[in-house]
Amino acid sequence: MENLILDCDPGHDDAVAILLAAGNPQLNLLGITTVAGNQTLEKVTRNALAVCAKAGIRVPVAAGAERPLVREQLIAGEIHGASGLDGPVLPEPAFDLDPRPAAQFIVDTVMTQPAGTVHLVPIGPLTNIALAMRLEPRLVSRVKSVVLMGGAVGVYGRTPVTEFNIQADPEAAAAVFEAGWPITMVPLDLTYQALATDEVLARIGAEGGELGTFVVEMLTFFGNQYRKERGLPAAPVHDPCAVAKLIDPAVFTSRPAFVAVELTGTWTWGQTVTDYRGQLGRPHNAEVADRLDTVRFWDLVTDAIVHLHNS
Ligand code: BDR
Ligand code: CA
């Protein structure tokens, strides 16, 4: 059983990550924290609660940072819509937020669990994680690992060289990569392999009942946006790839690298610079995901949805 805190900005793929984290019996989801990213904090927090209500998930949800550490706020309305989760009808929240700010929730949870037993899985901008590190520097030696969705090695994302989660708060991302804890980075290069094809959607719809229909409605909207905005053939369902690693380490392969975040380039700020070959003379600070086993991945996602639907 792996313990995790999911730090997210739902977001269509974040919503699927919530379902995977809560619906897989090998994971113990200790809480969900939200951060401004795909939409404003208010919207993504409402969406997190709506997904929990829809799926019958009952875990603490704590709202976090309203804006990045330093920069102007970026949102991704062109991909996720005005609500941040356009497509399906969203239910009303079924419970109240945890009263603590996300960073405090993360610190309290990690520091009260035995050392080395909690994974952090950030799948939005890294603001809450950087704030939690500042609040409690011992956090870094206490967590088991950080498995983050973010960055791009060689594919096109929000700009020709950047990926949204890192560019939305590059100073926070730089702090996380520099901290010295075990990091797995799940970049766009990996998540562009997690395409919600027509076959994938048909299976989720057929097996997942009402919750499956909700997921299909979400991913249909998401896929249309990606076709329009990025020319992809279907929706890349980024965020659950990070969660899947904790369930089945064989779901993707990775290679060690030194990863730095560009903070000053005129055209490149927010880029992740991934050095596999030691050309920059720095020690490796991350495992960088490179090849996804798509069959294993979609089995995990579908099984979690079916499990939640049946429970
Ligand atoms: C990342 O950005 C967001 O739009 C998605 O939820 C994902 O976390 C992909 O670049
Ligand atoms: Ca996200």
pLDDT in tens, the chain (311 residues): 999 999 999 999 999 999 999 999 999 999 999 999 999 999 999 999 999 999 999 999 999 999 999 999 999 888 999 999 999 999 999 999 999 999 999 999 999 999 999 999 999 999 999 999 999 999 999 999 999 999 999 987 889 999 999 999 999 999 999 999 999 999 999 999 999 999 999 999 999 999 999 999 999 999 999 999 989 999 999 999 999 999 999 999 999 999 999 999 999 999 999 999 999 999 999 999 999 999 999 999 999 999 999 99
The CA distances from residue 61 to 57, 66, 91, 203, 291, in Å, are: 10, 15, 16, 30, 32
Residue 37 near residue 124, CB atoms below 8 Å: yes
Q: Is the pTM of this model over 0.95?
A: yes
Mutate to test the pocket of ligand 1, among 35, 128, 149, 243 (most ligand atoms within 8 A of CB): 149
- What spacing in Å lies between the alpha carbon of 279 and ligand 2's midpoint? 31
238 CA closest ligand 1 atom index? 7
158 CA closest ligand 1 atom index? 10
Among the listed residues 119, 238, 307, 309, the single catalytic one is: 238
Nearest bound ligand to the CA of residue 166: 1
At 236 the pLDDT is 98
The number of angstroms, rounded, from the C-alpha of 51 to the middle of its chain's C-alpha atoms is 15
Residues in Cβ contact with 73 at an 8 Å cutoff, skipping those fewer than 6 apart = 36, 67, 168
At 222 the pLDDT is 97
| Calculated CA dihedral for residues 85, 262, 128, 147, nearest 10 degrees | 80
Query: Is residue 284 annotated as a catalytic residue, yes or no?
Result: no
At 84 the pLDDT is 96
For residue 12 and ligand 1, the question of a CB distance below 6 A is answered with no
The CA distances from residue 206 to 89, 91, 158, 244, in Å, are: 19, 22, 33, 22
Which residue(s) pair with 147 in the sheet? 184
Domains of the chain: residue spans and CATH:
2-310 (3.90.245.10)
Count other Cβ atoms within 10 Å, centred on residue 77: 15
Residue 237 near residue 41, CB atoms below 8 Å: no
At 78 the pLDDT is 87
